[in-house]
Amino acid sequence: MSGNAEQTEPHSFISALQDLNLRRVDLQRERRAADQLTGLLASMEAPPIDEAACQRLQRLIYFHGPQHVTLLIRTIVESEGNECALVERVISAVSSVMSSHRQWTERGLAWIGAFDSIPLLAIVETMRSLDLFKESTLSHYLNMTLSNKLQRLFEPPPPPSKPKRAYKKRRPKAGGQTAAAIR
């Protein structure tokens, strides 16, 4: 029995060292993401944000990179009427739409302009007032709402096809003979 304990002890020690090393790398990436976010917010002259929004943006830098977050912040802050919508629920929803529909974000200013007609905070407040959604699911349902609205803008439905003409059996002319009777 003591042989088994001796065999697992070095493995546990090595495993613990690996975990510490990985955690150190994660902490370095998290610090780098926090520093990048501070720089981004300052350079874009973004309005002050709360702690939840800050943490969400840092996670997005960590997982998607600073380019994703730069476009995300610009999308929200530079669209008409959404200057103050840099809150966690909106950030999560817009980021999800960006990740799901990359072809829309590639349209540049048209992407940001599309948000001029979408009052983000008003939609969130309407969702809250309906009392249908848990606070924790608001960003998910906002994501769905935004996807539907943007799909109508970026992928309009195809024009309706021409209706097929209904087949009508021709009747012989009055007083005339049919082709079979002529032969």
Q: How far apart are CA 44 and CA 163, in angstroms?
A: 52
Say if 145 falls within a structural domain: yes
The DSSP letter of residue 166 is P
Say if 10 falls within a structural domain: no
Predicted local distance difference test score (pLDDT) of residue 131: 92
Say if 174 falls within a structural domain: no
Does residue 94 contact residue 146 with C-beta atoms inside 8 Å? Answer: yes
**116-161 pLDDT tens trace:** 999 999 999 999 999 999 999 999 999 999 999 999 999 988 888 8
Q: Could you please report the per-residue DSSP string of 43-101? A: HTTPPP--HHHHHHHHHHHHHH-HHHHHHHHHHHHTSTT-TT--SHHHHHHHHHHHHH-
Predicted local distance difference test score (pLDDT) of residue 177: 57
Total number of domains in the chain = 1
How confident is the model over 112-119, as a mean pLDDT? 95
Say if 101 falls within a structural domain: yes
Within 10 angstroms of residue 114's Cβ, the number of other Cβ atoms is: 19
What is the domain extent for residue 55?
Answer: 17-156
Say if 147 falls within a structural domain: yes
Global confidence as pTM: 0.73
Predicted local distance difference test score (pLDDT) of residue 48: 92
Query: Which residue shows structure tokens 């998290």?
Result: 30
Say if 167 falls within a structural domain: no
Say if 183 falls within a structural domain: no
The better pLDDT of the pair 20, 116 is held by 116
AA letter at 170: R
Average pLDDT, the chain: 85
Does residue 97 contact residue 150 with C-beta atoms inside 8 Å? Answer: yes
Say if 87 falls within a structural domain: yes
Q: Which two tokens stand for residue 87?
A: 């809150």
**42-70 pLDDT tens trace:** 999 899 999 999 999 999 999 999 999 99
